[in-house]
């Protein structure tokens, strides 16, 4: 493993530093917006702008890389990112925060695409799975660690924004000093919503519902904690536990999905996530909920809800050929991003009626709905036997870009990008 990771150690170090700064902002921005007096709907809309920015960045970054290359592209985007970060501490207008959140999403997705395309360039058939697994775990663990930085100061002070900007600035150094050759240019993003739907109705529906759920969490999870009278330490522990649960459960849940029908795992995940969400709603009435009780429930919620998207992605690829992975993965990602942008405002509407607990009531409904859809779909459709060519589960890095799908070991023999897409007719139907 060390031999596989050593040549890309500088890139992984830059990724870790970037995620420390970005992971801090993911929680800091909703908390700071709440302290500035933004309504739940306004906070959710800024989160929506962030997810729309991610989609825009995925589509625009290949053109940037064709012009200036990976190293200069990383440096430029990281500098822009840290400037946007510092501006949040100076500007307190809702409209300006919308614009900054969009720019932040575009910037971070561009940085992810650079890192992921670079990793793909350095991977081969012998180490591709190792690199993808380590990268996925590193991202989730750095976001978890970043939550503890909230304890350094109150969100109302600019110090935390400065700390986030410092980590992003530090991430430029390893990439700029690396002696590794820059990778080849990134090809334009290929998207196919049609292929996603043809290969798996469940996967596309899952991308929509899981986007609605996780988008709401990232936009309003810190607000839920703040309005539930959590201290800064308790809020950090709550967010950390959620992400850590996703990191810890990802591989075990994925391996189970390799052994059994992935739809069964999705049903169990959705039912468990819905029940845990309901438990959080009920437990929030208890005065002793904040702290370890909340963290334990958050850990298992993350273990169910933050692992399901990767299973949906594996399910849609089960009957796909290698050259379809990128257009299918891109279609799934953009579907997930659009629904994530919608999820926050929907949850905010319910929070306006029920208070903070409305967030997890919202999640209870959508996760239960997804479980029912998968149960009905599974009873009405029996999958053909694909045991001879059943692709193995690959961990998800959480927030990612289309470039990550090229790291998938199953794309080792991917044809050239200008190869015409094969017709989906005659393939196994979803």
**Residue 424: predicted pLDDT:** 35
Best CA proximity match to 335, nearest among 198, 191, 186: 191
**Residue 372: predicted pLDDT:** 95
Measured from the Cβ of residue 362, the count of other Cβ atoms closer than 10 Å reads 25
**Residue 422: predicted pLDDT:** 37
**SS3 letters for the chain?**
CHHHHHHHHHHHHHHHHHHHHHHHHHHHHHHHHHHCCCCHHHHHHHHHHHHHHHHHHHHHHHHHHHHHCHHHHHHHHHHHHHHHHHHHHHCCCHHHHHHHHHHHHHHHHHHHHHHHHHHHHHCCCCCHHHHHHHHHHHHHHHHHHHHHHHHHCCCCCCHHHHHHHHHHHHHHHHHHHCCCCCCCCCCCCCCCHHHHHHHCHHHHHHHHHHHHHHHHHHHHHHHHHHHCCCCHHHHHHHHHHHHHHHHHHHHHHHHHHHHCCHHHHHHHHHHHHHHHHHHHHHHCCCCCCCCHHHHHHHHHHHHHHCCHHHHHHHHHHCCCCHHHHHHHHHHHHHHHHHHHHHHHHHHHHHHHHHCCCHHHHHHHHHHHHHHHHHHHHHHHCCCCCCCCCCCCCCCCCCCCCHHHHHHCHHHCCCCCCCCCCCCCCCCCCC
Instruction: State the number of CA atoms in the 13 A half-sphere of 297 facing the CB.
Output: 17
Tokens standing for 324?
């379809």
**Residue 414: predicted pLDDT:** 47
Q: What is the CATH number of domain 2-177+187-403?
A: 1.20.1250.20
Q: What is the pTM of this model?
A: 0.85
Euclidean distance between CA atoms 213 and 44, whole angstroms: 12
Tokens standing for 225?
């904690």
**Residue 125: predicted pLDDT:** 63
Q: What angle do CA 386, 391, 392 make, to 5 degrees?
A: 130
With 0-12 CB in 10 A as exposed, 13-18 as middle and 19+ as buried, what is 90? exposed
Taking only the tens of pLDDT, the chain with its 430 residues reads: 566 677 778 889 999 999 999 999 999 999 999 999 999 999 999 999 999 999 998 888 888 888 888 888 999 999 999 999 999 988 889 999 999 999 999 999 989 888 888 887 777 766 666 777 788 888 888 999 999 999 988 877 789 999 999 999 999 999 888 877 666 666 666 677 787 787 778 889 999 999 999 999 999 999 999 999 899 899 999 999 999 998 888 888 888 888 888 899 999 999 999 999 999 999 999 888 988 999 999 999 999 998 888 888 888 877 777 677 777 777 888 888 899 999 999 999 999 999 999 999 999 999 999 999 999 987 765 554 444 455 666 666 555 676 666 666 655 544 444 433 333 333 333 4
Euclidean distance between CA atoms 78 and 68, whole angstroms: 14
């Amino acid at each position: 493993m060390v031999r596989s990771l050593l040549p890309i150690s500088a890139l992984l170090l830059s990724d870790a530093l970037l995620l420390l700064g970005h992971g801090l902002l993911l929680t800091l921005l909703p908390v700071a917006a709440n302290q500035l007096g933004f309504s739940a709907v306004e906070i959710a809309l800024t989160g929506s702008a962030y997810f729309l920015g991610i989609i825009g960045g995925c589509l625009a970054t290949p053109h940037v890389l064709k012009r200036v290359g990976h190293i200069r592209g990383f440096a430029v985007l990281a500098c822009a990112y840290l400037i946007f970060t510092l501006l949040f501490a100076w500007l307190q207008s809702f409209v300006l925060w919308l614009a900054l959140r969009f720019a932040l999403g575009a910037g971070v997705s561009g940085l992810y695409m650079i890192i992921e395309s670079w990793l793909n360039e350095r991977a081969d058939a012998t180490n591709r799975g190792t690199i993808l697994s380590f990268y996925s775990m590193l991202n989730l663990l750095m976001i978890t660690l970043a939550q503890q930085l909230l304890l350094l100061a109150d969100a109302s002070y600019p110090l935390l924004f400065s700390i986030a900007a410092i980590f992003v600035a530090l991430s430029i150094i390893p990439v700029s000093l690396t002696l590794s050759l820059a990778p080849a240019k990134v090809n334009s993003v290929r998207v196919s919503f049609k292929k996603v739907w043809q290969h798996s109705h469940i996967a596309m529906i899952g991308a929509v519902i899981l986007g609605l759920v996780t988008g709401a969490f990232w936009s309003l999870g810190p607000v839920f904690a703040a309005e539930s009278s959590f201290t800064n330490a308790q809020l950090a522990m709550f967010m950390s536990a959620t992400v850590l649960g996703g990191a810890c459960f990802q591989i075990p849940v994925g391996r189970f999905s390799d052994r059994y029908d992935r739809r069964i795992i999705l049903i169990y995940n959705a039912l468990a996530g819905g029940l845990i969400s309901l438990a959080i709603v009920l437990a929030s009435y208890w005065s002793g909920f904040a702290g370890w009780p909340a963290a334990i429930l958050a850990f298992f919620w993350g273990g169910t809800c933050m692992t399901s998207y990767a299973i949906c992605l594996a399910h849609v690829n089960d009957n796909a050929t290698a050259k379809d992975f990128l257009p299918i993965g891109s279609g799934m990602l953009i579907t997930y991003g659009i629904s994530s942008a919608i999820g926050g405002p929907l949850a905010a509407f319910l929070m306006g009626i029920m208070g903070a607990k409305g967030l997890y009531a919202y999640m209870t409904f959508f996760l239960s709905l997804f479980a029912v859809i998968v149960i009905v779909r599974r009873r009405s459709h029996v999958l053909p036997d694909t045991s001879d060519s059943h692709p193995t589960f690959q961990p998800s890095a959480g927030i990612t870009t289309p470039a990550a799908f090229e790291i998938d070991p199953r794309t080792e023999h991917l044809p050239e990008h200008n190869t015409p897409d094969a017709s989906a007719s005659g393939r196994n139907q979803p």
